Amino acid sequence: MKQKSSHSKISYLTAALVGASYIFAGPVSTAALAETLPTNLKVDYAIALGGFDFGRAGVEAKIGNGVYELDALIKTEGIAEQFFETTFALESQGSFSGNRVKPARFISTYQDADSSRRVELTYPNRGAPVMAAEPAYGDGFGPHVQLNDILMTQDPISALLLPTMSATASPCDRSLPLFDGRRRYDLQLREDGMTEMNGGENAYSGPAMRCTVGMLPVAGYERKTLIKLLAREDSIRVWLAPLEGGDVWIPVRMTLRTPFGGAVMRATRFEVAKLN
């Protein structure tokens, strides 16, 4: 029983860190997207917990002409692999409308040594997203998740892109309504000032905007210690690096307090290129 309890706690922490990684968000000027060539973005992140390696994430994005495509691969490593190996593959495609992201499709594939599941959300022009899961969930969207809860929501990985109406608008000071097929929550961002980053070779060095983030559970959650902690605005911080004169911002660092110790997710490499 003790081993099962430890596995459950680490599994839950992994899911929380993966969920928290979705908040790495960079604002994109809607006007700039319509006027510039498509941009290809590649970013690698290292995840540490309590000073030990915990996982890695790789993100590729193509944005331009008012639409986007996102792919992410997140894997456990180091201390997490002492308990189990887990991989999350995530995809999102959609468009921009004003200062909102409008996803058209989201795919999440989870795999560990004992199980796997593929979840797909499609977004009609009106109404709630439609889910297809393999294997299927026995309780649909999950405990206590109603259709009204998920109206006007977006998938978590699309939170990588925060459209702004102008280059001078703040990337923070907003709330994101997110739903991943099981859990419905809001991410509440608040501006916390500008700072300087020195990421070293292949990473970002320069000015960055810091935001505090609160995670507000809406449905599909049990009231656990970690969720209560994430709801505090001082528990999560994210640093955003400006590109294209401030029209596009790229996440370069995140810190997260957990009952297991401090977690850090930092960009170890990022590349941005215009596509002809």
| pTM for the structure as a whole | 0.84
The whole-angstrom separation of Cα 20 and Cα 14 is 10
On whether the CB atoms of residues 78 and 51 are closer than 8 A, the answer is no
Which residue ranges make up each domain of the chain?
A: 2-274
Structure confidence at residue 8 (pLDDT): 45
Structure confidence at residue 10 (pLDDT): 47
On whether the CB atoms of residues 237 and 213 are closer than 8 A, the answer is yes
Structure confidence at residue 37 (pLDDT): 56
Q: Which position has the token pair 């955003």?
A: 240
Note down pLDDT in tens along the chain; length 276 residues: 434 444 444 444 555 555 555 544 455 555 555 455 578 888 899 999 888 898 999 999 888 888 899 999 999 888 777 777 889 999 999 998 877 889 999 999 999 888 999 999 999 988 899 999 999 988 877 778 889 999 999 999 888 787 777 767 777 888 989 999 988 989 888 999 989 988 777 788 888 889 888 888 888 876 565 566 566 656 789 998 776 655 667 788 999 887 778 889 999 987 877 766
On whether the CB atoms of residues 28 and 38 are closer than 8 A, the answer is no
